[in-house]
A and B are shown apart, each in its own frame.
Chain A
Amino acid sequence: KQEVTQIPAALSVPEGENLVLNCSFTDSAIYNLQWFRQDPGKGLTSLLLIQSSQREQTSGRLNASLDKSSGRSTLYIAASQPGDSATYLCAVRRKGGSEKLVFGKGTKLTVNP
């Protein structure tokens, strides 16, 4: 059974700092991995999707990497801003046709001005 873990559960950093959020998964047979952002009381916003054949994806100040063999993904946020404060979730889709995503519990990020 696929399990997704995100550590730490919460992170507080000063504005301008570069930071890394971690995601690990137990079964390396994945189709792809998605990173989401969730603001309090809101839905999820898709940030980046990495296919199993890819090593990384970039969007603006965000860079997500994938190491399937070790069951790890990281989300790198450059030059953090208070507006980046949110909960970040990662989710993996199993290889082999399953349409289901398995989610981690998220990392709550606070960027202090």
Chain B
Amino acid sequence: DGGITQSPKYLFRKEGQNVTLSCEQNLNHDAMYWYRQDPGQGLRLIYYSQIVNDFQKGDIAEGYSVSREKKESFPLTVTSAQKNPTAFYLCASSNPRDGYNEQFFGPGTRLTVL
């Protein structure tokens, strides 16, 4: 059963802590993405990766870090430098080589800072 999984579904963080959100896909997609969604705002791109061992900053990368050591995995770390991390985080993947590059999303992780 192909798809994108994100864990955990809910995450609580104390101020000053770093936390890592997991994203795994078994669609054999080269490209993966992290978005942040806040009420009343559209999705904003944090980081994206078009191939293993390579990634680029999106529109709001400050306070976040990523790695892409495996094709299937693209974890996102929310660092203590991110001043307002409470949000809904969405991971996505796509296959740029198929000519469509249709983007598919995981179920999301809701992060709350206590």
Contact residues of A with B, CB < 8 Å? 4, 31-32, 34, 36, 41-46, 49, 51, 89, 91, 93, 99-101, 103-106
Give Cα A19–Cα B86 distance, bound, in whole angstroms: 35
**A residues within 8 A CB of B92?**
44
**B residues within 8 A CB of A31?**
101
Could you list 17 further interchain pairs (A-B, Cβ under 8 angstroms) beyond the known A34-B103, A103-B43? Answer: A32-B100, A36-B105, A41-B110, A42-B108, A43-B105, A44-B105, A46-B102, A46-B105, A49-B100, A89-B42, A99-B31, A99-B48, A99-B94, A99-B101, A100-B48, A104-B42, A106-B42
Residues of B within 8 A of A (CB-CB), count:
27
- Whether A43 contacts B102 in the complex (CB less than 8 A), given A100-B45, A100-B48, A103-B42, comes out as no
**A residues within 8 A CB of B50?**
99
**Chain A residue with Cβ nearest B94:** A99
8 Å CB contact of B104 from A46, A99, A100? A46
**A residues within 8 A CB of B31?**
99
Contact residues of B with A, CB < 8 Å? 4, 6, 31, 33, 40-43, 45, 48, 50, 58, 88, 90, 92, 94, 96, 100-108, 110
Q: How far is the CB of A101 from chain B (nearest CB, A)?
A: 6
**A residues within 8 A CB of B102?**
34, 46, 49
Q: Are B41 and A105 in contact (CB under 8 A)?
A: yes
Give Cα A85–Cα B45 distance, bound, in whole angstroms: 26
**A residues within 8 A CB of B105?**
36, 43-46
Q: How far is the CB of A47 from chain B (nearest CB, A)?
A: 11
Q: Are A99 and B90 in contact (CB under 8 A)?
A: no
Q: Are A105 and B40 in contact (CB under 8 A)?
A: yes
Q: Are B103 and A46 in contact (CB under 8 A)?
A: yes
Q: Are A43 and B48 in contact (CB under 8 A)?
A: no
**A residues within 8 A CB of B94?**
99
**B residues within 8 A CB of A105?**
40-42
